[in-house]
């Protein structure tokens, strides 16, 4: 959406901000997928039962690429990265070396990841808290972190920045080392799987394997009852899911420096707010040059308000 407006009015800007914040509480969240790996990743998306699917259930993300998707209110589900995929350019048929969902296509169409796969799990609160975590309970295939932006609450980043494939014990290794199984997957023992007699937090304890995962990735779920140190909350945020966060940047995963934000049209009929964007917006660091006239601001505010509901 193109905003070329003239004149500035603090009253109208305040109105706009108020409307944006009001709208944000109930609107859908924006999820940004960014691939910092030096190889292509094919994210897979699975909505939990009862959640409407996103616009995609799987897509290709080249090195350095990023895509935004809207997530509807109260959505819950999971994201993961597939690696080593080949899809026939004519038929679209194919599969992946890790994280394959068995759909035989780029879109996963309601199928989940074949373990081992690093999983990002979300429950979007839509007016209540969002819950999110990165889980290695189904094993590990690539580094992945989740960052929250523009929300309120603790909103910490989580995930696994370490390349666990390089530290994977032989008995958990997959193929040439492109994935690392969970001990449950590798050995099927109830004490590793937290099943049977071990099916409760009181009886299922960390194992030598889950502790190895936990040491490498302290904020990720390393076994089924690892909730205390692995579940994170935030309210009204947008999220960035980054594959291989360290490969182009040595910054800490918990980097809170503001990103250069802007008001962008994610598609032709929706206005979304990339947060945190206000500081850049007002200091003019945004790539777009914005100025305002009272009447156009009012219509923009109204438009934003309507489209975000």
Ligand X SMILES: *[C@@H]1O[C@H](CO)[C@@H](O)[C@H](O)[C@H]1NC(C)=O
Contact 41, 98 (CB under 8 A): no
Tell me if residue 113 falls in helix, strand or coil: coil
**Which residues is 132 bridged to in the sheet?**
122, 232
Residues of this chain, 104-143, that bind ligand X according to CB under 6 A: 126
CB of 72 to ligand X, least distance (A): 8
Q: Closer to ligand X by CB, 67 or 70: give it.
A: 67
Residue from 259, 270, 293, 307 in contact with ligand X (CB under 6 A): 259
Q: Please provide the DSSP assignment of 172-188 as one string.
A: GEETTTTEE--HHHHH-
Q: Closer to ligand X by CB, 85 or 273: give it.
A: 273
Listed in sequence order, the residues at least 6 apart from 174 whose beta carbon sits closer than 8 Å to its beta carbon are: 98, 116, 139, 180, 181
CB of 124 to ligand X, least distance (A): 9
Q: Are strands 94-95 and 173-174 parallel, antiparallel or unpaired?
A: unpaired
Tell me: does residue 247 bind ligand X (CB under 6 A). no
Tell me: does residue 267 bind ligand X (CB under 6 A). yes
Closest CA to 120 of 203, 43, 12: 43
DSSP H helices, 110-207, are 183-187, 190-193
CB of 259 to ligand X, least distance (A): 4
Tell me: does residue 74 bind ligand X (CB under 6 A). yes
* Interacting span for ligand X (CB under 6 A) from 65-73, 95-103, 177-185, 204-212: 65-73
Token code pair at residue 203: 């009886």
Residue from 240, 241, 281, 305 in contact with ligand X (CB under 6 A): 240
The CA distance from 105 to 92, in Å, is 6
Q: Closer to ligand X by CB, 74 or 104: give it.
A: 74
Contact 183, 209 (CB under 8 A): yes
CB of 68 to ligand X, least distance (A): 4
CB of 6 to ligand X, least distance (A): 26
User: Token pair 């993300």 is at which residue?
Assistant: 61
Q: Please provide the DSSP assignment of 118-173 as one string.
A: -EEEEE--SSS-EEEEEE-TT-BSS-EEEEEES-BS----EEE-S-GGGG--GGGE
Tell me: does residue 268 bind ligand X (CB under 6 A). yes
The CA distance from 281 to 300, in Å, is 15
Contact 291, 29 (CB under 8 A): no
Q: Closer to ligand X by CB, 103 or 259: give it.
A: 259
Maximum distance among all Cα pairs of the chain, rounded to whole angstroms: 69
CB of 229 to ligand X, least distance (A): 26
* Interacting span for ligand X (CB under 6 A) from 8-16, 60-68, 195-203, 247-255: 60-68
CB of 269 to ligand X, least distance (A): 9
Tell me: does residue 32 bind ligand X (CB under 6 A). yes
Q: Closer to ligand X by CB, 8 or 306: give it.
A: 306
Tell me: does residue 73 bind ligand X (CB under 6 A). yes
DSSP H helices, the chain, are 10-24, 183-187, 190-193, 208-216, 278-283, 294-307
* Interacting span for ligand X (CB under 6 A) from 47-55, 63-71, 80-88, 180-188: 63-71
Tell me: does residue 67 bind ligand X (CB under 6 A). yes
CB of 262 to ligand X, least distance (A): 9
CB of 268 to ligand X, least distance (A): 4
Tell me if residue 116 falls in helix, strand or coil: coil
Site residues (CB under 6 A) for ligand X? Answer: 32, 34, 66-68, 73-74, 126, 240, 259, 267-268
């Amino acid at each position: 959406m193109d905003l070329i407006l003239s004149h500035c009015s603090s009253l109208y800007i305040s109105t706009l901000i108020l409307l944006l914040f009001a709208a944000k509480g109930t609107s859908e969240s924006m999820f940004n997928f960014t691939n910092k790996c030096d190889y292509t990743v094919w994210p897979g998306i699975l909505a939990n039962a009862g959640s409407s699917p996103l616009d995609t259930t799987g897509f290709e993300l080249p090195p350095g690429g990023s895509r935004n998707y809207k997530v509807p209110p109260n959505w819950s589900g999971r994201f993961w990265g597939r690696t080593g995929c080949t899809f026939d350019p004519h038929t679209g048929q194919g599969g992946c070396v890790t994280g394959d969902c068995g759909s035989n296509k780029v879109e996963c169409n309601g199928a989940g990841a074949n373990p081992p796969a690093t999983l990002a799990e979300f429950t979007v609160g839509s007016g209540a808290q969002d819950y999110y975590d990165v889980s290695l309970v189904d094993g590990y295939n690539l580094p992945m972190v989740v960052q929250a932006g523009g929300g309120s609450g603790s909103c910490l980043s989580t995930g696994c920045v370490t390349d666990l494939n390089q530290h994977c014990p032989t008995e958990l290794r997959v193929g040439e080392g492109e994935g690392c199984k969970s001990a449950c997957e590798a050995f099927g023992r109830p004490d590793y799987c937290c099943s049977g007699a071990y099916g409760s937090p009181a009886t299922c304890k960390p194992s030598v394997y889950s502790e190895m995962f936990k040491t490498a990735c302290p904020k990720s779920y390393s076994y089924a009852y690892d909730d205390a140190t692995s579940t994170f909350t935030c309210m009204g945020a947008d999220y960035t899911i980054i594959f291989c966060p360290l490969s182009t940047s040595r910054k800490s995963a918990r980097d809170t420096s503001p990103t250069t934000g802007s008001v962008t049209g994610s598609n032709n009929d929706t206005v979304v707010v990339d947060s945190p964007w206000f500081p850049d917006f007002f200091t003019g660091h945004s790539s777009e040059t914005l100025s305002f006239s009272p009447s156009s601001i009012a219509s923009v505010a109204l438009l934003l308000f309507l489209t975000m509901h």
